[in-house]
Amino acid sequence: EIVLTQSPGTLSLSPGERATLSCRASQSVSSSYLAWYQQKPGQAPRLLIYGASSRATGIPDRFSGSGSGTDFTLTISRLEPEDFAVYYCQQYGSSGYTFGQGTKLEIK
Amino acid sequence: EVQLVESGGGLVQPGGSLRLSCAASGFTFSSYWMHWVRQAPGKGLVWVSRINSDGSSTSYADSVKGRFTISRDNAKNTLYLQMNSLRAEDTAVYYCARDLWAYGDLDYWGQGTLVTVSS
């Protein structure tokens, strides 16, 4: 099973700042099968990025994804108040589907 | 508008069974792979199971293999999760989700249904 490790566990930033979230895989992941989700308290997750770098429908362009192999990054260029939430990376491989443990993005 | 509505959650004793349902609308249900994902209180997301579009192929997390069964009725636009031999560690909110491309990208999610396993 591929393990996804997200860092940092918690990121404290102010609105307007840039956020960089990391997702590291225990084995190489096909870029086609790496996604990022946002989850706010009491809500279901929302797909942000698929295929490592493609924005899902309706996702603002301040969200971007990059990376390949074992290292992937979600970048939020300028934080808006509504961006403070928990973010998860997720992969699909031969051994199934796994999520990272999440990064909580909180207001500083 | 795409909608996924889960039902069937509740309180069940250890060793008991429960069947979750997910009613789909607003899209051609029979064309999409579907998943169940769970989230224990205060914890992260954990993938549970997946079924392909015609129901001929399924996949499970090791933690539920042999105890849970995913199925679908494309005529009724409904996804199911039969959960047997439930354990305390199965306590979670269970979400159904649509797979955008069959690549594991879950683009629509239901609101979730809470399953509590306790005596």
Residue range B27-31: average pLDDT?
97
Encoded tokens for B113: 């249904």
- DSSP, collapsed to helix, strand or coil, labels residue A82 as helix
Backbone angles phi, psi at A24, to 5 degrees: -115, 130
Phi-psi group of A58: left, alpha or beta (phi > 0 → left; psi -120 to 50 → alpha; rest → beta): left
Encoded tokens for A105: 């993005």
Q: What is the pLDDT of residue A1?
A: 87
Residue range B3-12: average pLDDT?
98
Cβ neighbors of A93 (< 8 A, separation 6 or more) are: A2, A27, A29, A30, A33
Q: Which residue of A has its CA nearest to B41?
A: A42
Tens of pLDDT, residue by residue, chain A (108 residues): 899 999 999 999 999 999 999 999 999 998 889 999 999 999 999 999 999 999 999 999 999 999 999 999 999 999 999 999 999 999 998 778 999 999 999 999
Cα dihedral across residues A9, A58, B25, A51: positive or negative: negative
Contact of B110 with B5, CB cutoff 8 Å: yes
Cβ of A45 within 8 Å of Cβ of B105? The answer is: no
Share of chain B above pLDDT 90, in %: 97
Cβ of A45 within 8 Å of Cβ of B47? The answer is: no
Instruction: Report strand pairing: B113-117 vs B10-12.
Output: parallel
Q: What is the pLDDT of residue A92?
A: 92
Q: Which residues of B touch A101 (CB under 8 A)?
A: 44
Residue range B46-67: average pLDDT?
96
Share of chain B above pLDDT 70, in %: 100
Q: Which residues of A touch B35 (CB under 8 A)?
A: 97
Q: Which candidate from B45, B107, B111 shows the least CB-CB separation from A47?
A: B107
Phi-psi group of B8: left, alpha or beta (phi > 0 → left; psi -120 to 50 → alpha; rest → beta): left
Element (H, E) at A71: strand A63-76
Q: What is the pLDDT of residue B103?
A: 85
- Residue B54 sits at the vertex; the CA angle it makes with B53 and B56, to the nearest 5 degrees, is 110
Cβ neighbors of A41 (< 8 A, separation 6 or more) are: none
What number of C-beta contacts closer than 8 Å exist between A and B? 63
Per-residue pLDDT tens over the stretch A10-41: 999 999 999 999 999 999 998 889 999 999 99
Q: What is the pLDDT of residue A30?
A: 87
